[in-house]
Chains A and B, each alone.
Chain A
Amino acid sequence: MTGSQVGLALSVLLACAVEAVEALTIVLAVGSTRNWRSALTGMGVALLVLAALTAALGPAITALPIGVLRVVVGGLLLIFGLQWLRKAILRASGLKALHDELQIYDDELAAARGAGAVGGDGIDGYAFLVAFKGVLLEGLEVVFIVLTFGANQHDVGLAAAAAAVAIAVVVAAGVAVRGPLARVPENTLKFCVGVMLTSFGIFWGTEGAGGHWPGGDAALLAIIPVTLGLALAMVAALRRRMAAAPGGDEAAVGA
């Protein structure tokens, strides 16, 4: 496996694991309060839609000329990566509240309990729709990452396999724990994914726009650690600013 393939697999695996944890929380909440059959059916239908999207869009994307593909995909990956990184830096520095799976699980439980009586033996519309929507929306980002990374490296199969492994691991962990995966270091994972998406976005965007990296593909080995170092430096700078601000660490959490 080449360095690029390792980067591809790792990025997709981490991104997919984060999204799968968030989707699992929603499915667990509506399944345990409403109706497991409906929640699992909603999840299954959403996974089928996501698989169909991947199958339909994959060949279309890979048919694009490599220059166009790289500039479009590089640009989108960079935008996505910077948004992930921005959120992760704000959370790591205390400027934004951490993603709390237990709180989200409790909110979903309360909403599911307040959504009226559960239907008889048939499908419970609420459980089905909430699970379907949750899995579909969380999964769309994964489909995007699988397709863009896979198409650029001509290895959609490897990207899809990494996504499948991540989903299997998260679902197995959820079944073992029988509850939301609150101990998963979600922000750390999002931080790593943000660094990877941003780095690959910079690399492919530049190549797609006609630029040439000194050292070719090996430039990625410099771009990734430099991006990581800068992101960590930004966290440190924001933490220092928070500590120096009147009101200290509590001032901006939840901003």
Chain B
Amino acid sequence: MNRLRAFALFLWEFVVGDDWRIALGVAVALGVTAAVAGAGATAWWILPVATVALLTVSLWRAATR
């Protein structure tokens, strides 16, 4: 059980890293892109805008901590 927990912790650290909000934000942005593209609208701008927003917020939080 401890090994399982350690492995889960390792996976979390490996994939999510220092700021879980980035991982969550990317997942949400991909979902929005899929929904907008599925509706036939232009969707290429969503991920770049989300990337800038996520990085800015994450850096701001680190700088003001």
A residues contacting B by CB (< 8 A) are 71, 74-76, 78-80, 82-83, 85-87, 89-90, 95-96, 140-141, 198, 201-202, 205-206, 208-214, 219, 223, 226-227, 230-231, 234, 238, 241, 252, 255
Contact = CB atoms under 8 A, between A and B. Distances in A.
Interface in B6-41: 14-19, 22-23, 26-27, 29-31, 33-34, 36-38
B33 A85 contact: no
Contact of A71 (B14, B34, B42, B52): B34
B38 A90 contact: no
A95 B58 CA distance: 13
Given A83-B18, A86-B19, A211 B55 contact: no
Contacts of A205: 26, 29-30, 33, 47
A252 B38 contact: no
Interface of B: 14-19, 22-23, 26-27, 29-31, 33-34, 36-38, 42-44, 46-48, 51-52, 54-56, 58-59, 62-63, 65
B27 A75 contact: yes
A27 B42 CA distance: 50
B55 A202 contact: no
A202 B51 contact: yes
Given A82-B58, A206-B33, A212-B44, A252 B15 contact: no
Closest 4 CB pairs of A and B: A210-B37, A211-B43, A83-B17, A209-B33
B33 A83 contact: no
B62 A255 contact: yes
Nearest to A85: B55
A241 B34 contact: no
A79 B16 contact: yes
Contacts of B27: 75
Given A210-B43, A211-B37, A223-B48, A90 B62 contact: yes
A79 B33 contact: no
A78 B47 contact: yes
